[in-house]
Amino acid sequence: MMKIKLNTIGTWIALVTILGVIAFSGCMDKEGTNTEKIEVEKNSGAPQELTIGSPWAPKAINPYSGGSYILQRNCIVETLVSIDYKGKLAPGLAESWEVSEDGLAWTFHLRKSVKFHDDTPFNVDAMKSSLERAMEEAAVFKSIPIASVETKDDHTLLITTKEPFAPLPAYLTKGESAPISSSSFDENGKFLEPIGTGPFKFESWKPKEEIRLVKNDDYWGTKPKLDKVIYKGIPEAITRIMMSKAGELNIAQILPPDAVKGLESADNIDVSTKSIGRVRLIGFNMKREPFNELKVRKAVNYAIDRDALVKYVLEGVGTPARCLFPPEFYWANTDLNGYTYDPEKARNLLEEAGWIDTDDDGVLDKNGKPLEITLLTYTERAALPPTAEMIQSQLAEVGIKSELKVLKCDAASEMKKAGEFDMFLVGRGLLFIPDPDSIMMEDYHSIHGVDGFLWYGYHNERVNELIDKGRVTMDIEERKGIYDEVQKLVLEDAPIVYLNYYVNIDAVDSSVHGYQMHPNEYSFHLENVYIE
């Protein structure tokens, strides 16, 4: 009997019922004939349509206000500079670039014969207009010291900075900097829809549900083979797994480690894994007790068994974290050993900080107040809730009672912004911009006041000085030494608990070819994907 690929969960249930009735009436030979007919009809002239299921729903399609990553990953827009599969900078819409000796003037040489999806030409004027709009509207460019953007000829762009700014090309890999056609806006400048240069065109979307794409037959690069792509936001991992097994998804992204064995046993599914620049970590609220005290933050670091988290929560798919960056990345300070699991040391540090179990109830207390904290996380990344549960148990072993709050990502972020947490467990992308400047500025520089991306209330003036110096230092080896020192100081200050580094897990239908996971999650490169 030939294999039937089922299109919906409902179809699967219905077909199981039908097969049961046919088997009971002794008509299995007839069913075999029907199966062959269904398979032939399905593959005869079938369009190249791909459906992707991701935990991240499309919330916006304006690249300047929250839509850039959806548009970039789904190949609607492209950037001047791209990121290759080794995580290094590579030519994008700019074929090459160079910087002046004083580090102020950057010259980008643009590709020729590139068109927007509305058939208008991509040229230096379009690039200049889009980049200037990004500088005005996109948050990621607010801290970049750009003095001017000028045109030298139809395909040469000059960007001048107010001071040397080494990571500029890395920032130009961000989707917010991607050029879009002027017809993306109405006559009053209101955004209408994204009209980019990528291998796929925007067709339609349902906010917080899905986005639909069609191929760009006039693409300047590798011609896409897929006719259509549907990208669906499906927050629950179990739903993505069920839809993958039922054939409703060609690619189910970011699945939990405990799903791997079941998926590998399915005949029509290949499991893909990729180590990426992302870390699971906990940020402390340092504006209030108990984590305004260094000894308590260090105690938590020693109380957590990172090896056990990898073994039991991640099913061995991942590695314990010693510092910010995974060791295989150039910017990692590989001389740091991080915090080892040492519950006895954790108890001693807590006692030194004045936390003692005076009433023998298993919970430490100080001045009559029990050591009770709130551990906040979210559901969209499947490994986070069980990680929180194991950490809750490990903290209890050293006398810390924790209440778990597991919410949707948006709700958890709002609690964090309001300061209504003690510990915030997240998955943090490290190199979306393939340079340490971005993560350092967002997470560790106190330019944001007391409310950084993760931590809450961290301030170290030496860290600030080093991060500032790293931005203006053009020599890469000297920059490496600067960021090594930052990582050392942050580890000593312990505003963060680094837990483990990510391995992304995707379930890919065996009919899908050419799909390759990216270490920076820069793009799905759908122009290389086809169904056979």
Which pTM does this prediction carry?
0.84
Residue 295: CB atoms within 10 A of its CB come to 17
**Whether pLDDT at 200 is above 90:** yes
Q: Which residues contact 7 (CB under 8 A, 6 or more apart)?
A: 246, 247, 248
Question: What is the gyration radius of the CA atoms in the chain, in angstroms?
Answer: 26
Cis peptide before 434 (omega within 30 of 0): no
**Whether pLDDT at 19 is above 70:** no
Residue 455 CA from chain centroid, whole number: 18
- 3-class SS shares of the chain: helix, strand, coil, % to 5: 35, 25, 45
**Whether pLDDT at 9 is above 70:** no
The pLDDT value given to residue 247: 95
Q: Which residues contact 5 (CB under 8 A, 6 or more apart)?
A: 39, 42, 247, 268, 511
453 or 9: which carries more pLDDT confidence?
453
pLDDT tens figures, 89-121: 999 999 999 999 999 999 999 999 999 999 999
Q: Do 278 and 502 form a contact (C-beta atoms < 8 A)?
A: yes
- Residues 245, 488: Cα–Cα separation, whole Å: 45
Burial class (CB in 10 A: 0-12, 13-18, 19+), 177: buried
**Whether pLDDT at 447 is above 90:** no
pLDDT tens figures, 335-367: 999 999 999 999 999 999 999 999 999 999 999
Mean pLDDT of the region 116-142:
95
Domains and CATH numbers, the chain: 9-43 (no CATH), 49-57+193-275+504-531 (3.40.190.10), 81-184 (3.90.76.10), 276-502 (3.10.105.10)
